[in-house]
Amino acid sequence: MSDEKFSRRSQNWFGQKGKNGFIYRERLRNQGYASDVFVDKPVIGIATTWSELNPCNAHLDRVAEAVKRGVWEAGGFPLEFPAMSLGETLMRPTTMLYRNLLAMEAEELIRANPLDAVVLLAGCDKTPPGLLMGAASVDLPTLMITGGPMLNGRYKGKTLGSGTAIWKYSDEMRSGKITQEEFFAMESCSARSNGSCMTMGTASTMACVTEALGVQLPGSAAIPAVDARRYSTSQEAGRRIVQMVHDDQRLSQVLTREAFENAIKVNAAIGGSTNAVVHLLAIAGRIGVDLKLEDFDRLARDVPVLVNLQPSGEFLMEEFFDAGGLPVVMKEIESLLHTGAITVSGKTVGENIAGAENYRPEVVTPFATPFQKAGSGIVVVKGSLAPDGAVLKVSAATPELMVHTGPAFVFENIDDFHAQKDDMNLAVTKDSILVLKNAGPKGFPGFPEVGNMAIPKKLLAEGVTDMVRISDARMSGTAYGTVVLHTSPEAAVGGPLALVKTGDMIELNVPNRALNLLVSDEELEKRRKEWKPLPPHAKRGWVKLYTEHVQQAHLGADLDFLVGNSGSEVPRDSH
Ligand code: FES
C-alpha cells in the first residue's frame, strides 16, 4: 500500500500517483469514465440484489439507474455491483440457509472495494437483512432502498393477497371447496407487477422496519414497485448518500439502541412478521447493540396493531401507501417512539414524520381506536418447553386458543408431517397440539418457514380451521394461525422440544407468556439420556460451515464468528 495519506477512503485506490493508482484507474476507464471522476469524488457503491431468479427483485436494475442519477447530480461517482440474490419462491431448501452467506459476501465486497459509502438495493424477505448485516459489520455511510410491493392481486373482482391467499385456497382445494381449475386461474391473477408480496408479509415488514430503523428514506417503504415515486425517491437517495459521505454519517450513528426500539414498536403497530425478530437480533449483533428476545415482548406490550393489512387484516400494500404509508403509523405512535433518533434523511424521526397525514383511517387506524388492542403483535413465551423463548403472533392467531392445554401429536421432521397430514385416521382432535421437531436453524438445516403446518385433512373435514402448532421452525410473514415458532433451544441441539412424545400434555398460556411441557423432570431426564443427535447434514461446503456455526433463534441465527464489526479499514494492497 502507498504511504500517501488520504482523507477519503476511495482515494487510497484512485488517489495514488504511481503504478497502483494507474492500475485502479486505468481498468475502470474501460467503461468510458472521464478522468475527473477519480479526483476526490465520493465513490458510492450500489449493492444490488437484482436477479431474474428472484422475481421480487427483478426491477432493481431500474432502481439502480435512478440512484445513479442522484449520485452523479450530487457530485458522487456511482459504481453498481451484484450481491447474491435470495428469491423466496424458487430457492431450495430455504433462503434462510443463505441469509448469512449474503451478509458475509456483502461485508467483504464493501470492505475490499474503493467505496466511501454504499446504497443497498434489496427486496423480498432475506436480502434486506442480509445486506444490512453485512454493511453493519463495515460501518460506512449506508442507505437502503427496498424494491417495493407488487400491485394488489385481483381475481373475479376480489382482492388476492400474495402468500396469504395461497394458504387459504390450497386448504380449500384439499377439502374440495374449490376446483383445481379455479386454483390455477388464481395463479395468473395474483402477481400483477414487479415487486414483493403485497401483504404485510416479511418483505413488507422488513421494508417498514428498515424505514423505522432510519436506514431508508421516510415514506419510501410502501411505494409500489412500479410507481414512478419509487424511482424519484431512489434518485433522492442517490443525492442523499453523497451528502452522508460529506457529513461522515455512518451506519452506527443511525443503528442505535433507540433505532432498534423504534423498529420493534413499529413492527408491533404494523402487525409485522415474526421473521423481523430474528433479523433485527442479527443486525443488532453486527452493529454492537445489546438487543434481547425479551425486548420484543416488553417493548411491544403497549403498542396496538394499527395497520389493517393481510394476513392479520383486510387491506394490502397499495391501500397502505394510499393511506400515507409508514410515516402515518409512526405519527400515530409518536409518543412511544424515540423521536430524536437520527435517520439517513439527515433529520430526526420526529422531523421526518411531522407532516404525516392519514388519508385512509380504515387502513391505518387511529391510536385511540386501533384495529387490534395493545399486545396483539408478537409475544415471547418461555417455560420448560422453551427455556430460551419462542414467539407467537397474536394478531394472526385465534383468541380462544391463547390459553390452551392439550395432548401433543409429534412429527419428527417436516417429511414425517407431510407423510401423515392427509391420513384420515390420524389420532388427532381439535384439542391436539401439533409438534414439529428438527426444523430449526441447525436441524433442517436453514430454519425453514414450515411452522404453520397445514391442518390435518381429517380435522379440515370436521371444519377445524385453526389449532395450536409448536415448532422450532419459522413461519412465512404471509401466514396465520395459532403457531408457536422459533422454539429455543431447537430439537437438533437437544432442546426440550427433542424430548416431546405424542400424548404428552403441553400448556400454552399467552397472557402468562408460558409454554410448558407437563412431563416430570425424572421422565425428561430419562429421555434426555436416550436422545441422539442427528447425523451431520453435510461433509463439505457452505452447509457444513453453516451447521457448525449457526446460533440459535433467540440470538438471531447469525454465524457465531460473524457477530460483530470489523470496520472499514482499507485492506492491504497486493499489486
Ligand atoms: Fe418475495 Fe414474498 S416471495 S416477497
Claim to verify: residue 253 and residue 176 sit in the same structural domain? no
Q: How far is the CA of 221 from the centre of ligand 1 (A)?
A: 15
2 is written with which cell numbers?
502507498
Q: Are residues 264 and 138 in the same domain?
A: yes
CB 98 within 8 A of CB 65: no
- DSSP annotation of 440: S
The verdict on the CB of residue 190 being under 6 Å from ligand 1 is: no
Residue 252: CB within 6 Å of ligand 1? no
Q: Which percentage of the chain shows pLDDT scores above 90?
A: 90
When pLDDT is averaged across residues 221-230 and rounded to a whole number, the result is: 98
Using CA atoms, how far apart are residues 127 and 145, in angstroms rounded to an integer? 11
Residue 437 covered by a domain: yes
For residue 327, the domain's CATH number is 3.40.50.2300
Q: What spacing in Å lies between the alpha carbon of 108 and ligand 1's midpoint?
A: 26
Report the pLDDT value the prediction gives residue 186, as an integer from 0 to 100. 86
Per-residue model confidence (pLDDT) at position 177: 87
Q: What pLDDT is attached to residue 480? A: 84
Residue 252: name the closest of 346, 135, 347, 337 by CA: 135
Pull the grid cell for residue 232: 424519484
| pLDDT band of 164, cuts 50, 70, 90 | confident
Is residue 560, in this structure, part of any structural domain at all?
no
What's residue 3's pLDDT? 62
175 and 147, same structural domain? Answer: no
**Which pLDDT score is estimated for 548?**
97
DSSP string for residues in 14-71: HT--SHHHHHHHHHHGGG---GGGGSSPPEEEEEE---TTSGGGTTHHHHHHHHHHHH
Q: Do 550 and 460 fall into the same domain?
A: yes
Closest C-alpha residue for ligand 1 atom 3: 88
Sheet hosting strand 117-122, strand order edge to edge: 77-82, 43-48, 117-122, 142-146
- Tens of pLDDT, residue by residue over 549-573, are 999 999 999 999 999 999 999 999 8
Answer yes or no: pTM beyond 0.85: yes
1: pLDDT strictly greater than 60:
no
User: For cell 407468556, what's the residue?
Assistant: 513
Distance (angstroms) between ligand 1 centre and the Cα of 178 equals 25
What pLDDT, on a 0 to 100 scale, did the predictor assign at position 162?
84
232 ligand 1 Cβ < 6 A? no
Which residues on neighbouring strands pair with residue 43, listed in sequence order?
77
Task: Please give the Cα distance from 225 to 83 (Å, whole number).
Answer: 20
Q: Is residue 512 situated within a structural domain?
A: yes
- Domain count along the chain: 3
Q: Are residues 321 and 390 in the same domain?
A: no
* Contacts of 400 by beta carbon, 8 Å cutoff, 6+ apart: none
Asked if the structure places residue 32 within a domain, the reply is: no
| Residue 307 in domain | yes
Look at strands 153-155 and 117-122 and give their pairing: unpaired
What pLDDT does residue 237 have?
98
Residue where a domain stops, chosen among 134, 166, 192: 192
Average pLDDT, the chain: 95
Residue 92 · residue 170 · CB < 8 Å: no
Residues 313 and 462 in one domain: no
Tell me: do 341 and 389 sit in the same domain: no
Whether residue 287 sits in one domain with residue 383: no
Measured in Å, residue 57 CA sits from the centre of ligand 1 at: 9
Which DSSP string corresponds to 396-417? GS-GGGSEEEEEEEEESSHHHH
Does any ligand 1 atom lie closer than 6 A to the CB of residue 203? Answer: yes
Give the pLDDT confidence score for residue 520 in this predicted structure: 97
| 124 C-beta closer than 6 A to ligand 1 | yes
Do 470 and 382 share a domain, yes or no? yes
Judgement on whether residues 126 and 204 belong to the same structural domain of the protein: yes
Percent of the chain with pLDDT over 70: 99
- Using CA atoms, how far apart are residues 380 and 188, in angstroms rounded to an integer? 38
- The single residue listed with the C-alpha cell 403472533 is 393
**Does residue 517 lie within any of the structural domains?**
yes
| Domain span holding position 332 | 41-151+193-353
**Predicted local confidence at residue 2, as pLDDT:** 54
- Which among 151, 301, 141, 275 has a CA at the least distance from the CA of 214? 141
* Burial class of residue 537 in the structure, from the number of CB atoms within 10 Å of its CB (0-12 exposed, 13-18 middle, 19+ buried): middle
Do 181 and 219 fall into the same domain? Answer: no
The three cell numbers locating residue 273? 412478521
Query: Are residue 280 and residue 335 in the same domain, yes or no?
Result: yes
Residue 3, domain member (yes or no): no
- Distance, in Å, from the CA atom of 39 to the CA atom of 62, rounded to the nearest integer, reads 27
Residue 477, pLDDT > 90, answer no
Distance from Cα 85 to the centre of ligand 1, integer Å: 12
Distance 191 CA to ligand 1 centre (A): 10
Domain CATH code at residue 410: 3.50.30.80
Ligand 1 atom 2 nearest Cα: 197
Residue 28 lies in a domain: no
Of 13-17, 374-378, 402-406, the one with minimum mean pLDDT is 374-378
The residue-averaged pLDDT of 245-274 equals 97
Give the H or E element holding residue 465.
Answer: none
